[in-house]
Structure 1
């Protein structure tokens, strides 16, 4: 694939590079990053040709947005997305998985006013006058409010030209499929549910989006770690991977080695085989990780590898591949 090709999102004028960078890690996910390393990671991705970046207020309680803004201000050809559904308020509660404290904590808010406020405050943290794409962020327990209040507010922002595309980002496909049927969404961010290990998004969301001309951006291509480095104790779906999942990923890695293809490359490129998938997001926390993602996106993968994965019962023969 050409990881830097620009692909339109749905019927909008918004385009993304096939390879995008997820900026949750630069918010201090699990361990501190610091401003210099975070900005260096974005600079490295940009140097290679990546033009699509995704952040959120949740990530480091504003740190990711602030660092992204410092790195991206004044650049041309940028596509930037952020999220609504959690507003930041002053506080110093336990940050959980976020290791750097920003002086703020997130609170759920899918009200119409909450969406407008969150959008405005994101622009202030970013130091920008616009984001191209706005996602409803993890509305799993807030479906009614998301549909009746947040979604109309996003549609109004799109109508005003304040944003270019309306989306929702989740770790499940069922609710996103319900959102697709409203006819109001341009694209979706599906995390962890269309990967080499988990193709559950193929049962509902992906065919629905293909029928409706809705684009899908796939995140979590490494399933939170096990497809990057399949070892005992690796993470799968944000918790320790069961032994059978590790064994399956290791079997995939062995087949990849026969074809001189890193498992990371196969995992990153696999989702792009589906016609509804516009691009993939890979999380980065350092210049080295940004460079590695670009390298994996550029690996030439022989058709025989996909055939061998099918022959070994590691991939369903009906699943589309690049």
Structure 2
């Protein structure tokens, strides 16, 4: 599988990558066996970049990812949330994840919090290092990013503890400001550069091209609508969006290409995009996405779309 470099860093990622939220139990339980099978099948298919975070299943996603990975791979995790054991009688906070472990998530963007978060992630992963660390969902903490979190991440990169640093969000205005103000190698942009939502073209992608910052595109199915589902950005899709998807499906069918295949490959047409990140909860889902990703897509389809 093709590899692309993240910014000016030494880290290279495969153009199709594995998102770890699903094996953390996002929306539905996933067994340890299915999670392991998904990760290992991805490696067998040539996927070489794997992303996770403490947030995914309150640590479960990281533990499963670390236990399953073998051989050589590129691995990223995120900082911004610390996991604190629940007190007696304190209810869990699922936040979309099934059957969560007994931890609650606490925001911490301090320099100490960033380093502590990474250290705890490494323990859960059973690893001595990760290649990439992202600031995770800093939407309401922009000033803390500038004051403490980014300097701490930059120091980790300078020390050689990590190879690349970045930020991951689903809002492009703040991501664009971070790209313009900071020395980021990569941003993980979820759901804003897809066949349905190309808003990242307005601000983020031009800024990344100017600054030499790479983009990992997540959420390319817009939480399901482009993959045969009925949800868009985690809510029921309005009728006008469903009609747009029906038109996209007709155009793709005229060219003999499934809509999902076009959705997977579309972001890579922009030179700033290094990888498309897709979540898989089973080996069968890995094969399904891998087969779609490998389909040849005629240039005439892109012109029509």
1:80 and 2:75 are equivalent in the alignment: yes
**Please, which of 267, 270, 284 is the counterpart of residue 263 of structure 2?**
267
Aligned counterparts, 1:1-322, within 5 A: 4-72=1-69, 74-76=70-72, 78-91=73-86, 92-230=91-229, 234-309=230-305
Q: Give the SS at the match of 2:34.
A: helix
Shift of 1:222: 0.3
Shift of 1:98: 0.8
Shift of 1:100: 2.1
Distance 2:304 2:209 in 1: 27
Q: Give the SS at the match of 2:195.
A: coil
Cα deviation code 1:225-272 (max 9, x no counterpart): 000115xxx110111111111110111011111111111100000000
Q: Give the SS at the match of 2:253.
A: helix
Q: Give the SS at the match of 1:181.
A: helix
Cα deviation code 1:138-193 (max 9, x no counterpart): 00000000111000000000011000001000001111111111241111000000
Q: Is the 8 A contact 1:85 1:108 kept in 2?
A: yes
Shift of 1:284: 0.7
Shift of 1:305: 1.1
Q: Which segments of 5 or more consecutive residues in structure 1 lack a partner in the other structure?
A: 310-322
Out of 267-276 and 103-112, give the one that drifted further.
Answer: 103-112
Do the aligned partners of residues 138 and 96 (structure 1) sit closer, same or farther apart at CA in structure 2, a change above 3 Å counting?
A: closer
Distance 1:227 1:112 in 2: 39
Q: Give the SS at the match of 2:227.
A: coil
Shift of 1:306: 1.6
Q: RMSD between aligned alpha carbons?
A: 0.9
Shift of 1:198: 0.3
TM-score by length of 2: 0.97
Cα deviation code 1:273-297 (max 9, x no counterpart): 1111111101111111111111111
TM-score by length of 1: 0.92
Shift of 1:107: 1.2
Q: Is the 8 A contact 1:27 1:100 kept in 2?
A: no
Distance 2:84 2:284 in 1: 33
Distance 1:139 1:181 in 2: 16
Stretches of 4+ aligned residues off by more than 3 angstroms: none
Shift of 1:7: 0.8
Distance 1:158 1:264 in 2: 36
Q: Is the 8 A contact 1:19 1:50 kept in 2?
A: yes
Q: Which segments of 5 or more consecutive residues in structure 2 lack a partner in the other structure?
A: none
Q: Is the 8 A contact 1:194 1:201 kept in 2?
A: yes
Q: Is the 8 A contact 1:171 1:191 kept in 2?
A: yes
Distance 1:184 1:275 in 2: 19
Distance 1:134 1:308 in 2: 38
Distance 1:214 1:135 in 2: 13
Cα deviation code 1:61-85 (max 9, x no counterpart): 000000000011x412x10000000
Q: Counterpart in 2 of 1:315? A: none
Shift of 1:51: 0.4
Do the aligned partners of residues 94 and 186 (structure 1) sit closer, same or farther apart at CA in structure 2, a change above 3 Å counting?
A: closer
